[in-house]
Homo-oligomer: A and B are copies of this chain.
Amino acid sequence: MRVVVALGGNALLKRGEPLTAENQRRNVAIAARALAPLAHDYQLVISHGNGPQVGLLSLQSAAYDEVEEYPLDILGAQTEGMIGYMIEQELGNLLPIEEPLAAILTMVEVAPDDPAFGNPTKPIGPVYSEEEAKRLAEERGWSIAPDGEHWRRVVASPEPQRIFEMRPIHWLLENGATVICAGGGGIPTAYKPDGTLEGVEVVIDKDRASALLAFELDAGLLILATDTDGVYLNWGTEQARRIERTTPEQMDQHEFEEGSMGPKVEAACDFVRRSGGRAVIGSLSDMQGMVDGTAGTQFVLE
């Protein structure tokens, strides 16, 4: 069976931790321990978020004033390099040398007329106080939005339409490699009227891109790993209750937070509807339970 695991930004960096190389590496090593058994048992594909990282690289790029800031497609490509490398190295350290790993850069197409371009929802970079976020929005022309108790920069997040590297990803899987790809939702690109492809200044949601990836790969299972143990109804209230098992049809009756659980639920439902496979949202620390169907929120067709 093919399994696609999407590692959430919050699975790669604990909330509130500074985004140092050391902190990232420690969290990637934890994720690698959860993933290593799957690499052995399944055709495993790993994708990952990049919200905190692409935001940091944007701040670093802006802080050095002798070269103008790099656009989000190039920064996204940098994060695929950085995070993909750490996952490959840490997972490789847990697997026998005979088990091959490959991290492949992934470009994803979006539609230039996607309405998301006019409605930024995807949080990137660090959290700020409301006051500081509003000052930065003014200074740098950012869009900002609340994220829990804090505020963050938000950017447009159009729908992923196509993953360009599907054939290479297939070939690697067929030869037994664990493949790391579609990092940060893929490097965002769109066709110009002249038919050439160019980068665009957005960040694609990695759960949506992972759902597309899992569908294209005919995966039997899509796991969206985060830092909470599933999807909750009445989140933040005394009636909060984790959903153990659900269907896309049941989930249509509820609304979830945009920029957080919303896109995850939507991605899980989309994958289950299109493929008939199973999707799970849950905690990285419950990986085996999510695979076995005993942990997280399990999404099935009926």
The chain A residues found within 8 Å of chain B, CB to CB, are 18-21, 56-57, 59-68, 70-71, 73-74, 77-82, 84-86, 88-89, 92-93, 100-105, 107, 126, 164-165, 167-168, 171-172, 175, 177, 180, 187, 189, 196-199
Contact = CB atoms under 8 A, between A and B. Distances in A.
A78 B82 contact: yes
A235 B52 CA distance: 49
Contact of A104 (B65, B82, B103, B198): B103
A85 B105 contact: yes
Given A20-B68, A64-B60, A70-B21, A107 B78 contact: no
A86 B93 CA distance: 30
Given A60-B61, A77-B82, 12 more contacts: A18-B67, A20-B68, A21-B71, A21-B74, A56-B64, A63-B64, A79-B81, A85-B187, A88-B107, A89-B197, A168-B172, A171-B171
Name the residue among A73, A82, A84 with the largest chain B CB count within 10 angstroms.
Answer: A82
A89 B175 contact: no
Contacts of A92: 164, 197
Contact of A197 (B67, B93, B100, B126): B93
Contacts of A57: 60, 78
Contacts of A61: 60
